[in-house]
Amino acid sequence: MPLMKRKNPEEKPDSQTKAGSEKPYKGCLFIVSAPSGAGKSTICRAAQKKFPDISYSISFTTRPPRAGEKEGVDYFFISPSDFEHRIQQGEWAEWAKVHGHYYGTSAEFLNQQLSAGRRILLDIDIVGAEQILKRFPDSVTIFIMPPSLDALRQRLQKRGTDDAETIKKRLIHAEKEIDRKDLYRYVIVNDNLDKAIDEFCDIISRYPPA
Ligand code: 5GP
């Protein structure tokens, strides 16, 4: 079974970096989505180590911090009223409500990084991915799949950060996300972490195309 498939790789040339491009930006955006517990954070961390030039977009959220999460490292933790105020001010490049909490990406950060020509990694859900794709259609989209829903359930239980009700919600949400994985240019099945990291890094190393 192929672990990764590349869809229509030649159909969407990456025009973000082309000389003479009319686009007002020249960096490269990587959007990575995965059901919670699919191993996305571990894979992203490994890729950041391998490619230190990549900037990671730290999202804002109204979700309370989990044990060990740090302000400005894992997320910027803000209140729902602050988040809603920023929606009105147009401060988000994209935002979504996931499992009852707001999550958003700073438009200012993205614009700064793109105009500096940086490669940027966005860890966002599918709703956010759709919004970013509308504004930046050349974004490189990667979906990380768990080997199965059963494996995902086991990982979430082992992780021990969520109660049974939250795990149930995450699994229902995961199934919906997996149904829509065709939105993404690349799909990686994480049934072997080292292999998944290699595949992820291989994709990153191809962009922007020379
Ligand atoms: P968690 O609470 O487990 O850290 O994240 C829950 C979900 O929110 C994940 O699917 C994650 O990708 C998504 N997420 C994190 N940051 C953002 C963001 O800035 N925007 C959107 N749309 N989703 C986000």
pLDDT tens-digit series, residues 43-52:
999 999 999 9
Q: Whose CA is nearest to atom 5 of ligand 1?
A: 36
Ligand 1 center–CA 159 separation, angstroms? 17
CATH numeric code, 28-205:
3.40.50.300
Q: How confident is the model at residue 2 (pLDDT cuts 50, 70, 90)?
A: very low
**Domain ranges (residues) in the chain:** 28-205
Ligand 1 center–CA 86 separation, angstroms? 17
pLDDT in tens, 134-149: 999 999 999 999 999 9
177 lines ligand 1 (CB under 6 A): no
Q: What is the position in ligand 1's atom list of the atom closest to the CA of 99?
A: 6
Between the alpha carbon of residue 108 and those of residues 4, 45, 99, 105, the distances in Å are 33, 23, 25, 9
Q: CA 189: distance to chain centroid? A: 15
Ligand 1 center–CA 59 separation, angstroms? 8
38 lines ligand 1 (CB under 6 A): no
Q: Residue 155 and residue 42: Cα distance in Å, rounded?
A: 13
Our CA angle for 48, 54, 60, nearest 5°, is 85
Q: What pTM did the predictor assign? A: 0.86
pLDDT at 8: 38
Token look-up 């699919």 returns 38
Of 76 and 36, the one with more pLDDT: 76
In what order do the strands lie in the sheet containing 186-189?
4-6, 186-189, 140-145, 28-33, 119-123, 55-56
125 lines ligand 1 (CB under 6 A): yes
Q: Residue 95 and residue 59: Cα distance in Å, rounded?
A: 9
Q: What is the position in ligand 1's atom list of the atom closest to the CA of 60?
A: 19
% the chain with pLDDT above 70: 88
Ligand 1 center–CA 128 separation, angstroms? 9
Q: Residue 114 and residue 139: Cα distance in Å, rounded?
A: 11
62 lines ligand 1 (CB under 6 A): no
Task: Decide if pLDDT at 117 tops 60.
Answer: yes
Task: Decide if pLDDT at 22 tops 70.
Answer: no
Spatial contact of 57 and 110, defined as CB atoms under 8 Å apart: yes
Pocket test for ligand 1, best of 103, 145, 181 (most atoms within 8 A of CB): 103
Q: Residue 16 and residue 146: Cα distance in Å, rounded?
A: 31
Pocket test for ligand 1, best of 41, 125, 163 (most atoms within 8 A of CB): 125
